[in-house]
Amino acid sequence: MNNFALRVQCKSTRGIVAETSTFLTEQGCNITDSSQFDDTDTGNFFMRNSFSSEEGVTLAEIEERFAGIAAKYEMNVEFFDETSKPKVIIMVSRFGHCLNDLLYRWQIGALPIDIVAVISNHMDYQKVVVNHDIPFHCIKVTKENKPEAEARIMQVVDDTGADLIVLARYMQILSDQMCTQMSGKIINIHHSFLPSFKGANPYKQAFERGVKLIGATSHYVTADLDEGPIIEQDTTRVTHAQSPADYVSLGRDVEAQVLSRAIHAHIHGRVFLNGNKTVVFPASPGSFASERMG
């Protein structure tokens, strides 16, 4: 028995859910989880179904047979095997808390991904990465060599067949060309609760404003710096008695958790782009379970 998923995005029309459910039933499939959202402002409809094929029908056969329904409703459709592990490249600079958190979650199976490379503009985490038997690429970036450096990064993407790039506190601004080329395939973690306190040293800005909540935001990367569609956010409380250094330490934990949750949502096909926003469906039952518990 195989576990598959279906993603649908189209204009909202009566009958989509009923016809899709009937089709999967007729193919010998059992729907195990389903989420839908009807955006009344835009008229867009989003749906994600997890289902198991109980009578041996393959994913390719199901996709081919669904083509008529997809054409009828002018759907953007994606079928995928939920057991497949997307290929991911992690990019990091000199702050390693998100990298180390992702390596641990990957190691115990909590993040079912295949980390095919780590790219950095510094050598700080070479040993950590190599000790995990992951290829490490140090690609220095300067104003003068930025096009050549990004060409080398994209070569790694092409060579590995990476599905996703994760900026785990990678402190370089990507070019508009790279953002466009990899649209919807680069996730960043920003160490503030966007849209407040953008740019350099957001924790110092937050401290100076006397905030009572600090947070982190994970979003897709676009040409507009830190303005990409938001996938995940979270906060933690602070008090007047804490210092900017406390903010940074507390913020590290939030950043790591927010980034991992954003990746988890993306790789399970739970995130849909909806203009400059996202639709993020809840996780399917069992999808947070890891291979090594405890």
| Secondary structure (DSSP) of the chain | -EEEEEEEEEE--TTHHHHHHHHHHHTTEEEEEEEEEEETTTTEEEEEEEEEESS---HHHHHHHTHHHHHHTT-EEEEEETT---EEEEEE-S--HHHHHHHHHHHTTSS--EEEEEEESSSTTHHHHHTTT--EEE----TTTHHHHHHHHHHHHHHHT-SEEEESS--SPPPHHHHHHTTTSEEEEESS-TTSS-SS-HHHHHHHTT-SEEEEEEEE--SSTT-SPEEEEEEEE--TT--HHHHHHHHHHHHHHHHHHHHHHHHTT-EEEETTEEEEPPPPTTTT--SS--
Six token digits for residue 180: 């466009």
Catalytic residues: 226
Per-residue pLDDT, 118: 98
Burial of 275 (0-12, 13-18, 19+ CB in 10 A): exposed
Per-residue pLDDT, 1: 63
Six token digits for residue 93: 């600079």
**Mean pLDDT (10-residue bins), the chain, 294 residues:** 92 97 98 96 96 96 98 98 97 97 96 98 97 98 94 98 97 93 95 66 80 90 86 93 91 96 98 95 90 68
Per-residue pLDDT, 203: 76
Per-residue pLDDT, 241: 93
Six token digits for residue 20: 């899709």
Per-residue pLDDT, 246: 92
Q: Is the pTM of this model over 0.75?
A: yes
Per-residue pLDDT, 16: 97
